[in-house]
A and B are shown apart, each in its own frame.
Chain A
């Protein structure tokens, strides 16, 4: 299977609820990164997983958490949703290499709306 698949594509949640977003990485990739993109802004890095371990985190509170599974699929969990969490959530997979020779492969994203 090629490409990165994200589910669901759209989601509406109420403030205070919890949400889980899912991502299936591109075959052969061992790293997954999650980004939040507010309307009209660039993607903001949330965290990155390499071989099931978190190996980098952006400026996001602990209520944003994640998992990477042995098959390199991944989840992003957000607790206690706030209105400002409304955004496009992007998952990207990549293959760690030194030096890097390829870019990230992004999924189409999950559009989360918090009301």
Chain B
């Protein structure tokens, strides 16, 4: 079963705009991770945020975590056509348990 649920399922924006994707989960976590997947290929780890962190940045990526609402958001600023991909959140309960993935958000950035 899927632990995280991403929202929206699909998002289409113009190049240069910001893209925001949300993830909700059901139970307490140790950390939450975001991954990117280009069409039909393997997943690439983007960023990990621990349960005691509220915000984290990496380049054009900004991730927030609200454990009281059991939700996270991924913001991609100044999007590029190359950002077109599916984005997944994955929850980790204890640091030694398997990651549980959501269904993903399909992002299309139009040049």
B88 contacts across to A, CB distance below 8 A: 42-43
Q: Decide yes or no whether A107 CB sits under 8 A from chain B.
A: yes
Given contact pairs A42-B2, A43-B101, A96 touches B41 in the complex (Cβ within 8 A): no
Number of interface residues of B (CB under 8 A): 27
Least Cβ–Cβ distance between A107 and chain B, in angstroms: 5
Q: Count CB-based A-B contacts (< 8 Å).
A: 72
Least Cβ–Cβ distance between A15 and chain B, in angstroms: 23
B35 contacts across to A, CB distance below 8 A: 103, 106
A4 contacts across to B, CB distance below 8 A: 42
B48 contacts across to A, CB distance below 8 A: 100-103
A96 touches B2 (CB 8 A): no
A102 touches B101 (CB 8 A): no
| The 3 A-B residue pairs with the shortest CB-CB distance in the complex, in nearest-first order | A103-B45, A42-B101, A106-B42
